[in-house]
Chain A
Amino acid sequence: MRRAVIIFTAVLGFLFTSLGFGATSALAEGETLQGTLINAGQPVAGVVIKVADEGGSSIGDSTSGADGKWSVGVPGPGTYKVDLDTATLPQGVTVTTGRSSLTLSVFEGAARNVLFPLGSAAAPGAEEQEEIPGSSNLSRVLDLVYTGIHFGLIIALAALGLSLIFGTMGLTNFAHGELVTFGALMAFLFNVTANLPLWVSVAGAVVLGGLFGWLQDRFFWGWLRGRRTGLIGMMIISIGAALMLRYLFLYFFGGQTRQYADYVAQPGIDLGLIAVAPKNLIMDAVAIVVLIIVSLALVKTRLGKATRAVSTNPSLAAASGINVDAIIRLVWMIGGALAALSGAMLGIFQGVNYQMGFQILLLVFAAVTLGGLGTAFGALLGSLVIGLATQLSTLIIPSELKNVGALAVLIVIILVRPQGILGRRERIG
């Protein structure tokens, strides 16, 4: 159970703060501790949360509102003790970890999310385990390995589409992150605004993501190809598109990070040394199945073969009767759908935000470059390496710098092996 709390707080807290890639990240508002109290999908109001500093003197307190949210501003970065007053919880509701008091550090300028998983006292799992405080090193490493693989799979879904688009039309698409955000936002629209179950919402988001990718190529990128726009010109156009889409998302969705309605604070199930929330395992399984299907389709089917032919040599592919434009459009559709799935998974993992796609875009680029630009399987391999590298690097360096580690790996690889792990020499010249 404690592992789940760590995964969640690590994700919610650190990813928001240290993944704050955006130049406009709204992190400079002063340090806060905040959270949302939810029991069985319903917000819990009227619960008192007290915050004290290391010396034990009180900083402030907050009562959760009708939406379950609470937040306490703290004077500066440092370590704080957060107490949930269990007496103010509704009848029969407890903190399922049994730990109503947490000690957390708050970074400079960061709003730290604090998770108190709530459940009814009688529910199974409430008495699950009284874990011994102080985690073993092995389980911490395993935990990071799991999170790394999980994050790597999310990156891989986005990276595969990016790599296919690069391979077939040569475009380094800086607006791919916005396809990821689009998926997360559409899932949010279905799930929270339209009150559909999460799995229906995700499926809907994937369909809409594929449609969005198809429409983009049908009405925009295909048109630019027809006008013989240069590749570098298109690359800068994609930057403009990314900027425009990102701020359209901000316009319609707002600047805050929001959660899906279902499975927000799902307790973990015990897997020996680590505990993982079932939703994460289900997401992993879906991602793996989807990646295998797409990879098999690339290798086995005629369309897959045509796609690889276009990647290798578009003119030769066209000369042998392959409709290059149709293949590129198909690739945009698949890329959009995969990115939408990635976005929905990322949204389940860390919440929905208008710049979430932009925030992982550089890691996706790193993964794609690492595996070899334009190679589909390289992108999968590169994603897992990047996912594991970001997580495992926290064993050595502060977790706020984990992305620095991943990006530094990218630069080192380019120095040593510019074509990437699976790339071919002639592609870089």
Chain B
Amino acid sequence: MTPEREAWGSRWGLILAAAGNAIGIGNLLRFPGQAANNGGGAFMIPYIVCLLIFGIPMMWVAWTIGRHGGKFGHGSLPGMFDRMGNSPLAKYVGVLGLTLPYCFVLYYTYIEAWCLGYAWFSLTGDYMTTPHRTVHLAAYYQEFLNMAPTSSYFPGLLAAGAFLAITVGLNMIVLYRGVAKGIELLAKIAMPLLFLFCILMSIRVLTLEGEGTALEGLNFLWTPDFSRLGDFSVWLAAAGQIFFTLSIGFGSLECYASYVREDEDIALSALTTAATNEFVEVIFGGMIAIPAAAVFFGADEIQRVASSGTFSIGMISMPEILRAFPATWLFGSVWFLLLFFAAFTSSVAVAQPVMAFFQDELRMSRPKATFWLTALWLLGSVPVILYYRYGVLGELDFWAGTLGLAVVALIEIVLFAWIYGLARGWGELQRGGLIQVPAFFKPIMLYVTPVALAVILAGWVYFDGYKGGVLTPRPTVALWVDTPGNFPGTIESVPPDKAEAEFATRFAQQARDRAAQAEADGKLHAEVQFGADGSIKVRKINGLGALANLADATAFERYLRGSGQRYEERAAPGKPHVAVDKVVPLILTVYYTSPYVWLARGIVIGSTILFLGLIAYAWKRYHARRTP
């Protein structure tokens, strides 16, 4: 026992902090996209089934493992598993409860930093189009992250780096202040603000008038498509959403629960955390982004926005919508601060297990633990920010933010129900409980949850890892407008001719093959004459790096035609695009991603080895003679 271990100041503080842990960017952006693309209202059937068969049971399991570990002074999974497992190896399995949160915060704080950056850009009006400057929000976002080979809006990574440093700094201040004076205080300030911002944004969206109405958006989101219910991928999507939204598998819920006193309730606290998270997700998550897209883009284009992905909805479509209406500085800031606070309360939660490990197991003082965590955090962030364009963030997300979580959850349910034993585990869960957990959850925890988790894990390995091509890194090809700020229009895609489309696919593959062969990046710079009639003429072309020998004007022309490219301008915001005559400088890039993907894997493997070493050291030095 470590009697000086911290504890929560109040039950409400704990619940707000735990809800803050669960409520993240995914609630407001990922949920509506997933629902819209997987059967609309009918998506709620698998979603609620998954919530009941493994979402809520896993919340209870995590809180039980956490409070049990906390009783012995452990705030992270190695110590918790050591106390519940029957083997001296159990603590080493718990290394995942350090590696995953560490790798997760490395990229999640970067996303958090984008939100902080965009809140600032909203306040200063930086992404507003002025008579002197055209701001294409997609290019703006890509330049902010240094993905684009151009610099119309941001010269390099200075802005993104500065916001990341501020974000990591804010996280460390909260973690340094400790559980009650840091995390709990943050939750008490940030969570009411988060709710207030949600309400403000919902009212804003419902009162907007444009191409369509907000009701059309709600209609689009909720119209059930029952034909999708037989589709395995829809069930997998629902399961994945429940997983991410409740923050299962990071070890952060367990860590928060470890600061709950032995005889205090966890059964109702865990359920309330899930309920609060669902409230923000299902009610506010569906009320903001998709209805806003319906108002601005019209009913016909919501599908395109909904399927454009989490970041595209948040960082490209939402500012596009908000800047078309009055008081962008206010609602833009509110929107991005909402995302920022949602992310902030999650990132401190996910980082806390590592802090707790340093303090509880390595017996570090809080300043010392803060110092080492900051050092590791900043060091690991460098590749994420520098090599974002090579997919480092996506790779870390696959291992630490997707696959690893299902592995941890599966281990935890087996540990709880089968190794520690359901009867004892159930007793732990119920001790001090303010509610009686219904007995039908016993067979669910024993059989249904483990099977469901195993299926999710297998599904992710197969669909994302194997079929999605995550396991074998490939060079990536992208087309950019050079100096986009000088052009009022954008390059848009229209459905191309089939034969030409095949040529374009072959050309892109050829570019990838060249990069793989040369083990280097490549670029094609071209000056292209686009015609209002859809014609394309390459006037000049120049190849660099791996694509030095691919600078063939005719082939590039066919590639552009085959990928359906044409230059279009809008007559006014919200009006349709029309093709116009224009000479546009284009850049085709191919990024050789392999070394960077392996660098990301190196971070996962390297941090695992480091933490394994620290566990071995801690147990040899401090836990050799533990009290049973």
A binds B: no
User: CB within 8 Å of A: which residues of B?
Assistant: none
User: CB within 8 Å of B: which residues of A?
Assistant: none
